[in-house]
Amino acid sequence: MSLRPPQNLSGGVPWPPGVPLLPLILLDGGLWAAPCPPAPPQNVLGGVSWPPRVPQTPPTTLWGASPSQAILCAPDPHIPITGGLQAAPCPPDPHIPPHSPPNPWMCTPTPKFGGPRPGPQARVLAYLERLEAQGRESARKQEEEEQQEQKLAELKAKVQELRAWRDKLRAKLELQQKGLLEKDSFKMDAEHPSAWAVLEWKIQILRDLLQLFYLTGINGKLTRRGVCFCITTAFEGTYLQSYYLDVLTRPEVRIQCHSVPIFIPLEQIARKHLQTDMRRFLVVLFDHLNAYDGRRYQVDQLQEHFSGRLEGTLQRNSLCNLVVFRYNVSGDSGSFLFSAKLFYSDLCCSLPTEAIVSCMPNAPAELAEMAAAHSEMFRRLALHKAFASFSKAEETQDQAPINPPGSPQ
């Protein structure tokens, strides 16, 4: 908002000198207009006196036509103008110190548009601007101070809190040490452990339990209409997959949706156990999933690490309960091809129930023995581990003739 001295309002009639004027605002459009006091109603029609509350004021006929009454107040930037004509002379601006330069509003206005701006007016404007800036500055400082104070108070409160906590922990530690010394009288005497501490402790226990359940492979969460179970499978310490099962409990127990692979006989298991024994149902399903993922993991590992030994493609079905492959075996007299067929007739088991390893019909007898040993190995060890042990055995066999007997290994 920029304040400018008033210009000639009524065009032809010059503003009488020595009269304080209403400052004008430069609007966006570049027009000069009086800011707030609206033009008083013209007396021409009604003859009602204006303003009505000041009876001694003679009616104003035209805006600016009776200059003696137009002693208007220079609007203080801090006081919002609320409209209405102020007929009385305005009180001295409290922001202007008494030894301030002569009232700049009393000076002569420019008689014409675009004339040079007189010095005293410019000074007064500069002064006002400075005042405004000062005001803003002080307000800002005050705010900052307040904020700092607030922050300080907060930090102090926190210090208090932390101290209290430290004391509590110290007390607890002492108590525990005491408790260790006299085990029989283990009582969380708890000199008054606050309700909050107890709650936190309980929450922690529950969290640990949840983690424990997650590690066991079966965990669930209550939902609006039932439970959502999560079954996590693992094979020899490697977590493999998570399957979900959304079970509704009302009006009867029923599976709403799930992500269990289609070839797992979920429906059979559900028919058998779901209505009668939820725990049993979950355990059986878990066994199926765990065994399936275990079998698949073994085959994947085999293909990943021993693809060089495998001959042709490995055949398996979706459930991985029949795995057929051929592999190379290096014996004393060159390399031979074994073919293996692994049956997993127990779907809850990740090791084969039957392993048939066969070699070429014309192979030497020692190879047939070896095949039998391999078959035994497949039934006892995970597939990739069995292969690792074959490789190891062959390595030692290969090394044996190279090293002269008795040489240190």
Partner 1 sequence: MDEVVAEYIRRTVLKIPRDEILAVLRQWGFLSDTQLGAINLRQTKESISREVVRLCEENSADLKQAAILDIIYNNIYPNKRMWSVYQMKKTGEETDLFDFSNFKKTFKGRLQSALKNVTISFREYEDNAIWIRIAWGTPYTKPNQYKTSYVVYHSQTPYVFISVSVLKSNLPLLCQALVVASNYHDIREMELRSHCLNSLKDIVFKRYSQNFQTHYPKQQKNIATENVDIRIIQEDKSEKERIQRVNKEVFGDGPQPKLEFAQYKLETMFKSDPNMDVLERREPFRCLVKFSSPDLLESLKSLAPAGMADAPLSPLLTCIPQKARNYFKIRDRKDVLPGSFVSP
Distance CA 39, CA 72 (A): 13
Residue 74 or 349: which CB sits closer to partner 1? 349
Find the binder of partner 1 among 60, 219, 290, 301 (CB under 8 A).
219
Per-position x/- string for 324-363, each x denoting binding to partner 1 as judged by CB under 8 A, each - no binding: -------------------x-x-x----------------
Q: Is residue 51 reached through a cis peptide bond, with omega within 30 degrees of 0 on the bond before it?
A: yes
Work out how close the CB of 230 gets to partner 1 at its nearest, in angstroms, rounded to a whole number.
5
Find the binder of partner 1 among 106, 173, 257, 372 (CB under 8 A).
257
Work out how close the CB of 195 gets to partner 1 at its nearest, in angstroms, rounded to a whole number.
25
Find the binder of partner 1 among 319, 337, 349, 388 (CB under 8 A).
319
Query: CB within 8 A of 115, min separation 6: which ones?
Result: none
Contact 4, 26 (CB under 8 A): yes
Q: Which stretch binds partner 1 (CB under 8 A): 28-36, 136-144, 178-186, 251-259?
A: 251-259
246 binds partner 1 (CB under 8 A): yes
Work out how close the CB of 242 gets to partner 1 at its nearest, in angstroms, rounded to a whole number.
8
- Residue 318 gets which letter from DSSP? T
Residue 316 or 326: which CB sits closer to partner 1? 316
Residue 319 or 337: which CB sits closer to partner 1? 319
Find the binder of partner 1 among 66, 194, 313, 397 (CB under 8 A).
313
Binding residue count for partner 1, defined by CB under 8 A: 33
Residue 131 or 227: which CB sits closer to partner 1? 227
Distance CA 377, CA 213 (A): 33
Find the binder of partner 1 among 61, 176, 238, 259 (CB under 8 A).
259
- Residue 184 gets which letter from DSSP? G
Distance CA 55, CA 89 (A): 16
Two structure tokens written together for 400: 């044996």
Per CB under 8 A, contacts with partner 1 among 111-150 are: none
Place of tokens 């069995």: 386
Q: Among 15, 36, 12, which residue's Cα sits nearest to residue 24?
A: 36
Per CB under 8 A, contacts with partner 1 among 1-40 are: none
315 binds partner 1 (CB under 8 A): yes
Distance CA 199, CA 205 (A): 10
Contact 202, 211 (CB under 8 A): no
Work out how close the CB of 312 gets to partner 1 at its nearest, in angstroms, rounded to a whole number.
11
Find the binder of partner 1 among 134, 223, 333, 399 (CB under 8 A).
223
Distance CA 341, CA 18 (A): 117
Place of tokens 């074959």: 390
Q: Which stretch binds partner 1 (CB under 8 A): 87-95, 118-126, 180-188, 261-269?
A: 261-269
User: Which one-letter amino acid corresponds to residue 326?
Assistant: R
244 binds partner 1 (CB under 8 A): yes
230 binds partner 1 (CB under 8 A): yes
- Residue 251 gets which letter from DSSP? S
256 binds partner 1 (CB under 8 A): yes
Query: CB within 8 A of 35, min separation 6: which ones?
Result: 22, 23, 24, 25, 75, 81
Per CB under 8 A, contacts with partner 1 among 158-217 are: 210, 214
Query: CB within 8 A of 357, min separation 6: which ones?
Result: 338, 339, 340, 341, 371, 372, 374, 375, 378
Residue 274 or 359: which CB sits closer to partner 1? 274
Q: Among 376, 240, 386, 262, which residue's Cα sits nearest to residue 317?
A: 262
3-class DSSP assignment, residue 159: helix
Per-position x/- string for 76-115, each x denoting binding to partner 1 as judged by CB under 8 A, each - no binding: ----------------------------------------
Residues of this chain that interact with partner 1 (CB under 8 A) are: 210, 214, 219, 221, 223, 228, 230, 244, 246, 254-263, 265, 267-268, 313, 315-319, 321-322, 343, 345, 347
